[in-house]
Amino acid sequence: MEPMPETTPSGPPKDWLKGFWSLWVTQCQGAFSDNVFKFVVIFSAMSLYPNESDQDRLVSLIGALFAVPFILFTMAGGFCADRFSKRSVAMGIKCGEVLIMSLGAVGLYLGQLNLLMGVIFLMSAQSAFFGPVKYGLLPELLAEKRLSWGNGIVGLGTFISIILGTIAGGLLFDAFDNQVNTGFILIALAATGLTVSRGISRVPPADPAKKYRLNFLGEFWKQFSYARKDFVLLISVLGSTYFWFLGALVQQAVMIYGRNELQLSFFNTSILFAMMAVGIGLGSLAAGYISKRKIETGLIPLGAIGVSVFSFLMGQSGLPTHQFGLFLGCVGFFGGFYIVPINALVQHRPDRRRKGSIIAMQALLSWMGILLAAGVYFGLKTLGLSTSNIFTVVGFVTLAATAYVLWLLPDSFLRLLLVLLTNTIYRIRIRGRDHIPDKGGVLFVCNHLSYVDALLLFASIDRPVRFIMSNEVYRTWYIRPFAKILKVIPMPTGQRPRGIVQALREASARIKAGEVVCIFAEGQVSRTGNLLPFRRGFVRIMRGLDNPIIPVNLGGVWGSIFSYERGKFLWKMPKRIPYPISVDFGQPMAANSQPEEVRQAVRDLARRFEGSTK
């Protein structure tokens, strides 16, 4: 029986860094070996059957064989990830990989395509068990603020391994007349992965009393029904499914396009896949950097739009090899933008006891998408579409899906605009974000220096915020569209006590329902840059609640083009681009805190900001 891990008060084990990098190496080794073996088998099949129609059939069949085990065994992997220590499960899986690669070496020695396809089935089966373990370990090893970073690093490492594995598959296929040497290399790599997996941090079982349901579809539906209760989680799960469907469809098309349209060798065809994988890895890393320690959902539509544009460009006929490879790499780059925040959402939003099962359910759906891609590819080719036509179809479908999601979640479009705004015009430094609870209602009380304060605050955290805004500003033609997207609570101005009370009650109800509400307690945008007296409206909002108040200071905003500095709003030249600002979140305060106390807390944050700029 494994000793229980030492944990910090916040949850992750004390040796989380060693555990994370051990998991990273183990994952990278598995991704590398899987791709070497898969591509060696595909190249063997294409060498035996040079006719394009046979190649279409075999490539689709191998894709299906690779996907089916994930559909059959992923939910069992999720059960193991919750029921047992994930470290123990990972080590057991790597033991299985050593045996499977030994059988693969026999198949490569004999040159038996049917046996090799059977080994592909077994290889993907052990990977199906490892997926929920890998993604379930990340939120247990990493604090939430490091989750996007961890996903970016894992995404980068995985796709670098895919790059190297893809290239190595082509090199080894051309280098050896008898591929048994490739088999010996893969056995050695599997043994190395088993050794490294021992360094993964010991974590306790998430749900040691969990019972296994033999009917995996019943377990799948149970977890899917749970995800349906959280609309953002549901959209994230479906978005991940589409990513893997798209990747599998493009991979099969590139395989045939490289060999038959571009007339490339097996090695050079593998270079095309490497370019796509390089793009995904770089996109994943860039997404982790841009997210700035939060889950940045605005990258999702940006990534999808980029995938659409470059898929259309790939669909042009007569492209030279270098240009096609460049477009393929760009598809991968924007795909990395797309998938990193989606993975982070799926890992972060479920209850801890369900994380492993929800991740397993997501993985199962993703592999259903990959299996569907094999059938869709073969069906499109049967209908007479050329390979380049398939890239155009990908562009249209992705564009339509993006438009639909933006219609369902209009705030994701605003997030997209804010990603562009806060990485071009503004450069935001965020401090004290750890003071914001992950879940539950909270009231932000913030100073008010410009007409973009709400957007800057919205861009600083990954929880939705309901702002209280005066009716006069709310009805302004250029603000109202954004206010509706943000679900702003309009506050009547003037002598309308009934409307004011109604707005305050709505804000209180939103906090009680677990949402984040923000009020600019000064009641107006400062015309001097000084902190004005706080009004008592937020006291009425918090009456009868026990949720925290978070003081917030926007530092450096005074002087931007959207402030009244120099007596002008907007009509002045910016002092710097990007313009540096700071968003500082203070320690949580009691619900019964008085205006003078909260104002003093905001003032203290402002003084700290001023001291840091000297």
pLDDT at 527 over 50: yes
Whether residues 431 and 539 share a domain: the answer is yes
Q: Is 460 exposed, middle or buried (0-12, 13-18, 19+ CB in 10 A)?
A: buried
Would you say 505 and 542 are in contact if contact means Cβ atoms under 8 Å apart? no
What tens digit of pLDDT does each residue of 553-568 get? 999 999 888 888 877 7
| Average pLDDT value for residue range 245-258 | 90
Please indicate, yes or no, if residue 76 is contained in any of the structural domains.
yes
* pLDDT of 9: 43
Please indicate, yes or no, if residue 178 is contained in any of the structural domains.
yes
Please indicate, yes or no, if residue 397 is contained in any of the structural domains.
yes
Q: Is 336 exposed, middle or buried (0-12, 13-18, 19+ CB in 10 A)?
A: buried
> In terms of pTM, does the model score above 0.85?
no
> Backbone dihedral region of 447: left (phi > 0), alpha (psi from -120 to 50 degrees) or beta?
beta
- The string of DSSP letters for 351-415 reads -GGGHHHHHHHHHHHHHHHHHHHHHHHHHHHHTT--HHHHHHHHHHHHHHHHHHHHHH-HHHHHH
Encoded tokens for 360 = 């397993």
Decide which of 360, 389, 422 is a domain's last residue.
422
| Average pLDDT value for residue range 43-68 | 86
* Owner of token pair 């007409």: 451
pLDDT at 477 over 60: yes
Please indicate, yes or no, if residue 3 is contained in any of the structural domains.
no
* CATH code of the domain covering residue 31: 1.20.1250.20
Encoded tokens for 451 = 């007409």
| Average pLDDT value for residue range 29-58 | 88
pLDDT at 328 over 60: yes
pLDDT at 135 over 60: yes
Whether residues 416 and 433 share a domain: the answer is no
Decide which of 422, 450, 475 is a domain's last residue.
422
Whether residues 250 and 344 share a domain: the answer is yes
Q: Which residue has the higher pLDDT, 444 or 81?
A: 444
Whether residues 471 and 372 share a domain: the answer is no
pLDDT at 2 over 80: no
Identify the bridge partners of residue 558 per DSSP, sorted by sequence position: 560
* pLDDT of 6: 46
| Average pLDDT value for residue range 70-83 | 79
Domain extent at residue 331:
16-202+216-422
Report phi then psi at 109, rounded to 5. Answer: -65, -40
pLDDT tier, 5 (very low <50, low <70, confident <90, very high otherwise):
very low
* pLDDT of 88: 87
Provide the b/e sequence for 93-125 (b: ≥16 CB within 10 Å).
Answer: bbebbbebbebbbebbeeeebeebbebbbbbbb
Whether residues 327 and 468 share a domain: the answer is no
Report phi then psi at 565, rounded to 5. Answer: -60, 140
Instruction: Report d(CA 509, CA 346) in Å as an integer.
Output: 27
* pLDDT of 462: 82
| Average pLDDT value for residue range 219-247 | 88
pLDDT tier, 595 (very low <50, low <70, confident <90, very high otherwise):
very high
Encoded tokens for 375 = 């059938």
Q: Which residue has the higher pLDDT, 352 or 358?
A: 358
| Average pLDDT value for residue range 140-144 | 79
Encoded tokens for 190 = 């599997």
Instruction: Report d(CA 192, CA 187) in Å as an integer.
Output: 9
* pLDDT of 213: 65
The CA distances from residue 209 to 17, 241, 376, in Å, are 29, 30, 41
Among 45, 127, 148, 94, which residue's Cα sits nearest to residue 370? 127
Q: Which residue has the higher pLDDT, 68 or 354?
A: 68
pLDDT tier, 7 (very low <50, low <70, confident <90, very high otherwise):
very low
Name the E strands within 228-386.
Answer: none
Q: Angle at which helices 86-110 and 180-197 pack, to 10 degrees?
A: 170
369 CB contacts (<8 Å, ≥6 apart)?
241, 242, 244, 245, 248
Whether residues 307 and 433 share a domain: the answer is no
What tens digit of pLDDT does each residue of 57-76 get? 888 899 899 889 888 887 77
Encoded tokens for 279 = 């793009």
Whether residues 368 and 474 share a domain: the answer is no
Whether residues 521 and 394 share a domain: the answer is no
Least confident of 245-254, 423-432, 585-594: 423-432
* pLDDT of 1: 39
* CATH code of the domain covering residue 451: 3.40.1130.10
* pLDDT of 478: 81
Decide which of 359, 392, 422 is a domain's last residue.
422
* pLDDT of 586: 96
| Average pLDDT value for residue range 595-608 | 96
161 CB contacts (<8 Å, ≥6 apart)?
27, 28, 29, 31, 32, 35
Instruction: Report d(CA 614, CA 611) in Å as an integer.
Output: 6
Would you say 444 and 519 are in contact if contact means Cβ atoms under 8 Å apart? yes
Instruction: Report d(CA 363, CA 86) in Å as an integer.
Output: 17
Query: In residues, how long is the chain?
Result: 614
Least confident of 156-160, 221-225, 484-488, 501-505: 156-160
Q: Name the pairing type of β-strands 549-555 and 579-585.
A: antiparallel
Whether residues 436 and 408 share a domain: the answer is no
Q: Rank 123-132, 284-293, 308-317, 345-354 by mean pLDDT and report only the highest.
A: 308-317
Q: What average pLDDT does the chain have?
A: 86
Whether residues 412 and 442 share a domain: the answer is no
Query: What is the CB neighbour count within 10 angstroms for residue 606?
Result: 18
Round to the nearest angstrom and report the end-to-end CA distance of the chain: 56
Q: Which residue has the higher pLDDT, 388 or 134?
A: 388
Instruction: Report d(CA 78, CA 71) in Å as an integer.
Output: 12
Q: Which residue has the higher pLDDT, 478 or 61?
A: 61
Please indicate, yes or no, if residue 366 is contained in any of the structural domains.
yes
Please indicate, yes or no, if residue 11 is contained in any of the structural domains.
no
Whether residues 390 and 483 share a domain: the answer is no
Whether residues 508 and 580 share a domain: the answer is yes
The CA distances from residue 80 to 86, 90, 207, 360, in Å, are 8, 10, 10, 10
Please indicate, yes or no, if residue 6 is contained in any of the structural domains.
no
Q: Rank 52-66, 196-210, 558-572 by mean pLDDT and report only the highest.
A: 52-66
Structural domain total, the chain: 2
Query: Coil, strand, or helix at residue 25?
Result: helix
Please indicate, yes or no, if residue 7 is contained in any of the structural domains.
no
